[in-house]
């Protein structure tokens, strides 16, 4: 009895040993196959089109991320780690998902066109750039480009296409900087916006000016940007340049327009954010006030009609006053049979530190006319929010940041026509002249 049990036990042990041996053999074979495959993929190369297809697979399907990475031979990864690849793919996915469509096609961009896409600097820094434009399908299944083209870039060395560690690192860095900036804007974090602006502006602007920029940007996005973050589009994304298109923003004329934010990498490895706002001029900027003026006249506004006596009442007798007889405009008064064309002479009235140019109708002992231009050269006059001759550029920019983008000149338009303001500075950046005019 005991002998039979012992025989059964020995039989069971023999079967188990055989089964374990078979399992061990299978596992060893799989390991040998994996090692062999990895050795093959590390010693062979795949084409640029194949690399791009693997990237597209990962962009379209997150579950294929690891597989797509492992399918790219190590010698064509250029040291791009899986975490870098993961972050890069997510950036591309964010760019395409905004359109609600997957990538279904791609086309290789001729090398002759690549320079125009990336710019001379990058084209020189990355010789052998390979570029593919990603495409989606239209309603008929045809390949069409995204509204803002999306590209994948590879580099070619010794006729072998590969990812570029430096390129992908640059993409990730500049994208994250821009993404952080837009987050600070969304959160209305003035200190955060200032911290991101400051590296690109500190060399040429006082800290107070950059802080004023940050505050103005927060106000602009809060009031004038009507689109949501999800509607923003990436127009350009390369290692040294990142451009975002923001739709449905209100212009200074009250119209919906696209607003663009451009982030560039400087030679000092800092980032410069160009998010210049429209230079919005209040109507009061075209009103001239005199310090300590006690007359009842108030402001003198370019574009208004004045009688000679009213200017003298406000400022006293002019130092010089003359007509330019050969400089005329003609004003039509009345209608039909009563229509009258009146010649208006250019009339110059010069007071201390201020000059007025009118187009006036001359009478026997006086005139009245249209105030076409004012030139201010003295500190006793001011416009708007106490803007006056003698201010520094810094003081002016604190009040009106981004004015320098427009060359310290602006055109303001209302229902009566176009008003022009221009500031003139000396070599020490001190305001020496304010010019106000209205188009005839």
- Are 256 and 291 members of one domain? no
What is the pLDDT at residue 221? 96
- Are 303 and 417 members of one domain? yes
For residue 20, is it within any domain? no
**Separation between Cα atoms, residue 213 and residue 195, nearest integer Å:** 11
Helices (H), 98-240: 111-118, 120-125, 165-186, 190-201, 207-223
- Are 119 and 187 members of one domain? no
pLDDT in tens, 200-215: 998 899 999 999 999 9
pTM for the model: 0.80
Instruction: Evaluate whether 410 touches 421 at the Cβ level (below 8 Å).
Output: yes
What is the pLDDT at residue 222? 95
What is the pLDDT at residue 385? 85
Domain's final residue, options 119, 142, 163: 163
Beta bridge partners of 61: none
CATH number at residue 219: 3.10.450.50
Instruction: Evaluate whether 293 touches 314 at the Cβ level (below 8 Å).
Output: yes
Angle at the Cα of 309 from the Cα atoms of 303 and 312, rounded to 5 degrees: 90
How far, CA to CA in Å, does 184 sit from each of 59, 179, 288?
Answer: 27, 9, 39
Beta bridge partners of 361: 368
What tokens were used for 366?
């006086």
- Are 254 and 157 members of one domain? no
What is the pLDDT at residue 253? 76
What is the pLDDT at residue 15? 42
Torsion on CA atoms 35, 40, 46, 51, rounded to nearest 10: 0
Residues spanned by the domain of 121: 48-163
**Separation between Cα atoms, residue 326 and residue 352, nearest integer Å:** 26
For residue 294, is it within any domain? yes
- Are 157 and 188 members of one domain? no
- Considering its fold, how many domains does the chain have in total? 3
**Separation between Cα atoms, residue 92 and residue 132, nearest integer Å:** 13
Instruction: Evaluate whether 98 touches 131 at the Cβ level (below 8 Å).
Output: no
**Separation between Cα atoms, residue 131 and residue 153, nearest integer Å:** 5
Domain's final residue, options 274, 295, 328: 274
What tokens were used for 146?
């995204």
**Separation between Cα atoms, residue 208 and residue 68, nearest integer Å:** 50
Torsion on CA atoms 34, 40, 45, 50, rounded to nearest 10: -30
For residue 145, is it within any domain? yes
For residue 348, is it within any domain? yes
Residue 286: other Cβ atoms inside 10 A: 24
What is the pLDDT at residue 292? 67
For residue 9, is it within any domain? no
Closest CA to 90 of 62, 68, 66: 62
Domain's final residue, options 249, 274, 299: 274
- With tokens 């800290």, the residue in question is 207
**Separation between Cα atoms, residue 278 and residue 252, nearest integer Å:** 6
**Separation between Cα atoms, residue 89 and residue 57, nearest integer Å:** 10
Q: Which regions of the chain are under pLDDT 50?
A: 1-36, 38-39, 294
Phi first, then psi, for residue 213 (nearest 5°) are -60, -50
What tokens were used for 234?
């990436």
What is the pLDDT at residue 397? 95
For residue 363, is it within any domain? yes
Closest CA to 215 of 385, 394, 398, 403: 398
For residue 175, is it within any domain? yes
Looking from the CA of 158 toward its CB, the CA atoms found within 13 Å total 3
**Separation between Cα atoms, residue 388 and residue 382, nearest integer Å:** 5
**In this structure, are strands 417-425 and 431-438 parallel, antiparallel, or unpaired?**
antiparallel
- Are 145 and 204 members of one domain? no
- Are 102 and 135 members of one domain? yes
For residue 18, is it within any domain? no
**Separation between Cα atoms, residue 283 and residue 72, nearest integer Å:** 62
- Are 288 and 309 members of one domain? yes
């Amino acid at each position: 009895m005991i002998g039979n049990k012992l025989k059964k036990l020995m039989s069971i042990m023999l079967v188990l040993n055989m089964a374990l041996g078979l399992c061990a053999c299978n596992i060893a074979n799989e390991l040998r196959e994996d090692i062999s495959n990895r050795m093959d993929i590390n010693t062979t190369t795949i084409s640029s089109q194949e690399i791009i297809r693997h990237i597209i697979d990962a962009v379209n399907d997150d579950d294929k991320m690891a597989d797509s990475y492992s399918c790219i031979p190590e010698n064509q990864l250029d040291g791009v780690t899986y975490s870098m690849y993961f972050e890069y793919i997510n950036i591309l996915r964010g760019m395409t998902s905004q359109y609600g469509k997957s990538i279904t096609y791609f086309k290789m961009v001729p090398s002759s066109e690549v320079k125009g896409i990336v710019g001379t600097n990058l084209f020189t820094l990355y010789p052998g750039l390979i570029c593919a434009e990603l495409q989606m399908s239209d309603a008929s299944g045809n390949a069409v480009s995204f509204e803002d083209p999306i590209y994948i870039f590879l580099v070619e060395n010794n006729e072998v296409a590969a990812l570029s560690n430096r390129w992908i690192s640059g993409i990730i860095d500049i994208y994250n900087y821009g993404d952080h900036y837009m987050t600070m804007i969304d959160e209305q974090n003035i200190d955060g916006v200032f911290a991101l602006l400051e590296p690109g502006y500190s060399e040429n602007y006082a800290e107070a000016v950059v802080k004023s920029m940050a505050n103005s940007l927060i106000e602009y996005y809060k009031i004038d940007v009507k689109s949501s973050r999800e509607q923003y589009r990436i127009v350009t994304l390369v290692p040294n340049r990142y451009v975002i298109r923001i739709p449905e923003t209100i212009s200074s004329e009250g119209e919906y327009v696209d607003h663009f934010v451009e982030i560039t990498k400087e030679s000092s490895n800092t980032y410069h954010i160009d998010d210049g706002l429209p230079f919005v001029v209040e109507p009061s900027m075209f009103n001239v006030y005199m310090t300590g003026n006690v007359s009842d006249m108030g402001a003198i506004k370019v574009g208004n009609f004045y009688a000679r006596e009213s200017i003298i009442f406000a400022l006293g007798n002019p130092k010089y006053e003359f007509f330019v007889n050969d400089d005329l405009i003609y004003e039509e008064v009345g209608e039909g049979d009563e229509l009258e064309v009146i010649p208006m002479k250019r009339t110059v009235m010069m007071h201390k530190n201020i000059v007025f140019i009118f187009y006036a109708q001359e009478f026997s002992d006086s005139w009245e006319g249209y105030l076409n231009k004012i030139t201010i050269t003295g500190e006793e006059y001011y416009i708007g929010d106490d803007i006056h001759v003698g201010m520094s550029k810094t003081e002016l920019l604190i009040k009106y940041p981004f004015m320098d983008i427009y060359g310290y000149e602006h055109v303001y338009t209302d229902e009566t026509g176009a008003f022009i303001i221009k500031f003139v500075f000396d070599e020490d950046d001190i305001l020496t002249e304010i010019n106000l005019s209205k188009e005839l």
